[in-house]
Structure 1
Amino acid sequence: MKIAFIYDAVYPWIKGGAQKRIYEIAKRLVNNGHEVHWFGLNWWNGNTTIEHDGVYIHGVGKSVPLYKNGRRSISEALYFARKLILPLSKDNYDIIDCQEFPYFSCFSTKLVSIAKHIPMVITWYEVWGDYWFEYLGRKGIFGKFVEKYSTKLPHLIIPISEKIKSDLEVLGVPKEKMRVVPNGVDFYRIQNVKPHGEEFDIVYVGRLISHKNVDVLLKAVTFIREEIKDVRVAIIGDGPERDNLIKLSKELNLQQNVKFFGFLEKDEDVYAVMKASKVFVLPSTREGFPNTILEANSCGLPAIVIDHPLNGSTGIVKNGYNGFILPLSEKEISTRVLTLLQDSNLLNTLKRNSIEFAKSHDWSVIVKKLENVYKGVGK
């Protein structure tokens, strides 16, 4: 098959969940004999079309900031949507897989799909619904409209989890128009990574932004420290909240307990810290399908995530099997972490479960499932 992916941010120049998913899937589709193209913005130096890991990557326009004042830039989204139409329409494809964000490119892809008679799918990562009003204020009515109308564009929607599928059903998308294909993990590659030299009890990996609630994790550590004085926590990631979080850790007198690694460029370095830890905590209230959970599970770490309507993590963690789903509460988080750290039998059981769960999500399994979905579109 000849396949086109649509997403403005391109891995590895821009790191993030959606682009990492495309990258991992695309290079494996190439290995399976398919011709794969990726249309995004030009984040690299040199020709507008390059080949990377066998994938043809097309820069349809210059790189412009994806975010403005901490939010996805509407002007960037419109720019990408406008610049996409002509390059995408120059060739024929068996299928076009457009990513849900940043929405406007879905409409451009639809125009090309109609003009060229090419089946179109949209991979869906999050459903915001009423959260649009919190994000944009009264202008949220427009975001909510665009989100809902985007669901009517493709021949098929690919939600990345059962939770996202359920959320889309609330928007009125019929079940028969959806096929779930979850995110995956490079399971066998992770097994070859050696643990970091330092040992940690808890690890967090992700952007340091407000809805990730890393401050709640730090406050939970103060309760854990009452019973385990030398508890060790690794915080991996960077973002606008980093200075505030470092300040908070000092105010809570956690300098000896918490280590801020910042952003780690190499995935292997992240995996090494995970392998030197015991529990993964992701206190975020808004996620699609965070790959960090599967990566942590691959390292044998159960994941603690938050029960929230906008948190897709709850569709990945099976409560009591490969982690726990808890309210957003430092006391609840501290109690559960203490139970795991003090009950080696329970921790080892969840470790085995986590590894088995992650193995079933190896990218080779996911790509095979996606191939079957692609083949069935339009039939």
Structure 2
Amino acid sequence: MTDSLEPFNTGGKEARYAALLPRLRQHGIDVHVHTMRWWGDAPVPQVPAGTLHALCPRISLYAGSRRSIWQAVVFAASTLRMLGRRFDVLEADAIPFVQLFPLKLVTVVRRKRLVVTWHEVWGRDYWVDYLGPLGRVAAALERLAASLPDHVVAASTGTADRLVDLGVPRERLTAVPNGVDAAEIEAAVPAADAADVLCVGRLLANKNVDVLVDAVALLRERGRRVTATVIGTGPERERLAAQVERLGLGDQVRLLEPLEQRLDVLGAMKSARVLAFPTVREGFGMVALEALACGTPVVTTDHPDNHARHLIVPGVNGYVCGLGATALADALTQALDNADGLREGALATGRDNSWDALAATLAKVLVA
């Protein structure tokens, strides 16, 4: 149960489901994905994740730069259709978590287990920053929603710890972090148009790609010309394009639409010298892990809501820095100067995370 999946939309949770769900078949699990009608009036497409079923029409996930409250409410209401659909266990994506309330009703009525994958915990401070006074209500709902599942799958150990802080008992928690496909990484061919610094992901305010652009400008002032490629789309794209133009960085910073093939994204990671990941909110950091698996060191922030920082051992596979152009420019300088030496540490991090082993753990949770 998720409102978004590949190939219709890209992102960390979408990539996670695209990797894990097909592998569940190896453990005797028949996967049916209930989502929005992303395909419109066309015939239901076949996707590797499983058999698709529409719950409601496709509604934009975002209203401006924020997640759409209307979309969340409509999708949540549509999940009541599961009262009449067949399933043995219902696994739900926690985002945007409003749907967990009707889904709890569905599973109680149907006497089935509700397993929820929790990608990240926002908490009261972030909710208030995001929504203002209304954020206090949202934070209370998040805490209540976390109490609903029969079992919670946390996308990182950091998220698991924060769920315990919300009141989820440890015995109802299993950490199943994100992983990489070693064969897919091996098959990716480095891109011909290599950049010094690569940034990949949704162009949202919390990703702070504008800080990367400012850091490139600062390095230019210091006499160091650094090229950066940004791959992604989102509400911040026009503002970033204007920023690049205003700073006269058109020959150093490229903004590219999402690449259609994952191998092309991995190829871009392989060819870049450093991946910049200046986010302040990340439940795990799939992009960071994939870059490390490609042998590309990562620079990310030390913000407490950025769990990608736990993947980084400073000076071994990348660097962690404060949020700001100066701090990011300094960390990028270190990473670029030591990129070759950081490569082995990056590759070692990638080798420790296998999707096959993670799928086996998830399968045990689902059939318990």
TM-score scaled to structure 2, two decimals? 0.92
Provide the identity percentage: 32
Aligned position for 2:325: 330
Tell me by how many angstroms 1:289 deviates.
1.9
Aligned to 1:109: 103
5 Å-filtered alignment, 1:150-169, equals: 150-169=145-164
Amino acid at match of 2:244: S
Structure 2 residue matching 1:35: 3-state secondary structure? coil
Give the 5 Å matches for 1:287-306: 287-306=282-301
The 2-side partners of 1:87 and 1:168 are apart by 26
The whole-number CA distance in structure 2 between the counterparts of 1:261 and 1:48 is 30
CA drift at 1:226: 5.2
Deviations 1:144-192 (A, max 9, x none): 1110001111111111111111211221222222110001222321211
| Structure 1 residue 306 displacement after superposition | 0.8
Question: Matches of 1:298 and 1:89 in 2, distance apart?
Answer: 43
Alignment of 1:222-371 (within 5 A): 222-225=217-220, 229-343=224-338, 347-371=339-363
| Residues 230/45 of structure 1: CA separation in 2 closer, same or farther (3 Å cut) | same
Q: Is the 8 A contact 2:228 2:254 kept in 1?
A: yes
Whole-angstrom distance in 2 between the partners of 1:358 and 1:167: 25
Contact between 1:193 and 1:271, CA under 8 Å: does it hold in 2? yes
Q: Write out per-residue CA displacement over residues 196-233 of structure 1, whole angstroms, 9 at most, x where no aligned residue.
A: 11222111111222221112112222343356644221
Does residue 10 in structure 1 map to residue 5 in structure 2? yes
Find the partner of 1:119 among 113, 124, 148: 113
Equivalents in 1 of 2:250, 2:218: separation in Å? 15
CA RMSD of aligned residues (A): 2.1
Corresponding pairs, count: 367
Q: Secondary structure at the match of 1:179?
A: strand
Identify which range, 125-134 or 30-39, moves more after superposition. Answer: 30-39
Matched-pair contact (CA < 8 Å) for 2:56–2:75:
yes
Aligned CA distance change for structure 1 residues 108 and 217 (closer, same or farther; 3 Å): same
Structure-2 change in CA distance of 1:340 and 1:83 (3 Å): closer
Tell me the CA shift for residue 54 of structure 1. 6.6
Q: Is the CA contact (8 Å cut-off) linking 2:318 and 2:335 kept in structure 1?
A: no
8 A Cα contact 2:207 2:279, kept in partner: yes
Q: 1:339 & 1:104 partners in 2: Cα distance?
A: 43
Change (3 A) 1:249 1:82: closer
Q: Helix, strand or coil for the counterpart of 2:31? A: strand
Tell me how far apart the structure 1 counterparts of residues 234 and 96 of structure 2 sit (CA, whole Å). Answer: 21
Do 1:39 and 1:58's aligned partners in 2 also have CA atoms closer than 8 Å?
A: yes
Query: Could you report, residue by residue, the CA deviation over 1:111-131 in whole angstroms, capped at 9, with x for unpaired residues?
Result: 121122212111111111121
Flag structure 2 segments of 5+ consecutive residues without an equivalent: none
**Structure-1 residue corresponding to 2:93:** 99
What SS does structure 1 have at the residue aligned with 2:139? helix
Of 156, 178, 185, the match for 1:190: 185
Provide structure 1 residue ranges, at least 5 long, that are not aligned to the other structure. Answer: 1-5
Cα 1:367/1:327, change in 2 over 3 Å? same
Shift of 1:254: 2.3
State the alpha-carbon separation in 2 of the partners of residues 325 and 363 from structure 1.
26
Q: Distance in 1 between matches of 2:84 and 2:202?
A: 36
Q: Which amino acid in the other structure matches residue 138 of structure 2?
A: G
Partner of 2:195: 200
Match of 2:23 among 28, 36, 57: 28
Aligned to 2:208: 213
User: Does 2:168 match 1:176?
Assistant: no
The alignment partner of 1:234 has SS state of: strand
Matched, 1:128 2:122: yes
Contact 2:195–2:271 (Cα < 8 Å) also in 1: yes
Bigger CA drift: 140-149 or 349-358? 349-358
AA paired with 1:70?
S
Structure 1 residues 92 and 192, CA, compared in 2 at 3 Å: closer, same or farther?
Answer: closer
Within 2, Cα distance between the matches of 1:101 and 1:291?
16
Paired residue type of 2:234 = G
Secondary structure at 1:289's aligned position in 2? coil
Query: Which residue number corresponds to residue 43 of structure 1?
Result: 38
